Homo-oligomer: A and B are copies of this chain.
Amino acid sequence: MSHNTFGHLFRVTTWGESHGPAIGCVIDGCPPGLALTEADIQPWLDKRRPGQGKFVTQRREPDAVRILSGVFEDSRTGGQVTTGTPISLMIENVDQRSRDYADIAASFRPGHADYAYFAKYGVRDYRGGGRQSARETAARVAAGAVARKVLGEAVTLRAALVQIGPHAVDRSRWDWAQIAHNPFWCPDAEMVPIWEDHLERTRKAGSSTGAVIEGEAVGVPAGWGAPLYGKLDAELAGALMSINASKGVEIGSGFGSASLSGEENADEMRMGEAGPIFLSNQAGGVLGGISTGQPIVARVAFKPTSSILSPRRSINEAGEEIEVRTTGRHDPCVGIRAAPVVEAMMACVLADAFLRHRAQTGGGAFEPGRPGRA
Contact = CB atoms under 8 A, between A and B. Distances in A.
B17 A29 contact: no
A255 B166 CA distance: 11
A120 interface: yes
Contact of A88 (B16, B86, B120): B16
A317 B368 contact: yes
Contacts of A187: none
Given A208-B262, A308-B262, A241 B233 contact: yes
A212 interface: yes
Interface stretch (A50-58, A111-119, A177-185): A111-119
A5 to B, nearest CB: 6
Interface in A40-92: 66, 68-70, 72, 74-76, 81, 83-88, 90
Please provide the 3 A-B residue pairs with the shortest distance between their CB atoms, ordered closest to farther.
Answer: A113-B288, A319-B369, A238-B238
A297 to B, nearest CB: 11
Contacts of A17: 69-70, 72, 85
A227 B262 contact: no
Counting chain A residues whose Cβ lies within 8 A of the other chain, the interface size class is: 35 or more
Contacts of A313: 268-270, 279
Given A1-B229, A16-B86, A237-B237, 16 more contacts: A2-B28, A4-B229, A15-B28, A15-B69, A15-B86, A23-B69, A32-B120, A33-B123, A75-B123, A84-B121, A112-B287, A209-B262, A212-B255, A234-B239, A262-B304, A315-B368
Interface string A225-256: 01111110111111111100011111111111
A210 B332 CA distance: 36
B88 A287 contact: no
Given A119-B365, A233-B241, A314-B269, A132 B209 contact: no
Nearest to A276: B315
Given A265-B210, A355-B359, A235 B1 contact: yes
A39 interface: no
A8 B74 CA distance: 30
Contact of A125 (B24, B83, B246, B255): B83
A307 B238 CA distance: 28
B115 A302 contact: no
Contacts of A163: 258-259
Interface string A272-313: 000010010011101111111100000001111111101011
Determine which residue in A90, A231, A269, A365 has the highest number of CB atoms from chain B within 10 A of its CB, and name it.
A269
B1 A223 contact: no
A154 interface: no
Contacts of A252: 247
Centre residue among A29, A116, A363 by max chain B CB count within 10 A:
A116
Contacts of A372: 122
A185 to B, nearest CB: 15
Contacts of A112: 287-288
A335 interface: yes
B3 A26 contact: no
